[in-house]
Amino acid sequence: DGYIDFMEYVAALSLVLRGKMEQKLRWYFKLYDVDGNGCIDRHELLNIIKAIRAINGGDHETSAEEFTNRVFDRIDVNGDGELSLDEFVEGARKDEEFMEVMMKSLDLSHIVAMI
């Protein structure tokens, strides 16, 4: 319905904190598939990368656009311009840089430390 109720919030926190890597990646995929069509396109991933960088701060060697293009070059196996769930999960497992960004996307420890 576009809203997260308390139980959904608790379930998501539990998954992020204690879930297995496969579960986390599947959840990230659902979260990043903004339009819910079962694929993540370049625009969706670019917006996610920009949001992650805005939250986490820091300097980056590459722009969000360059990083997004590199991710698609590496893990969009069939070259259709969209990441399927399988491509996303397998790509994250095989690409350390992409996996690191995915893990940082919900690492809020630096925010908690400020509170």
Reduced to 3 states, what is the DSSP secondary structure of residue 84? coil
14 pLDDT tier (thresholds 50, 70, 90)? low
Q: Under a CB-based contact definition with an 8 Å cutoff, are residues 50 and 113 in contact?
A: no
pTM to 2 decimal places: 0.75
Mean local confidence (pLDDT), 36-49? 94
Q: In angstroms, rounded to a whole number, what is the distance separating the alpha carbons of residues 114 and 109?
A: 9
- What's 106's DSSP letter? T
Q: What is the pLDDT of residue 40?
A: 97
For 20-114, CATH gives 1.10.238.10
29's CB contacts (< 8 A; 6+ apart) are 40, 85, 88, 89
Residue 108 has pLDDT above 60, yes or no: no
In this predicted model, what pLDDT tens digit does every residue of 49-71 receive, in sequence order? 898 888 777 777 889 999 999 99
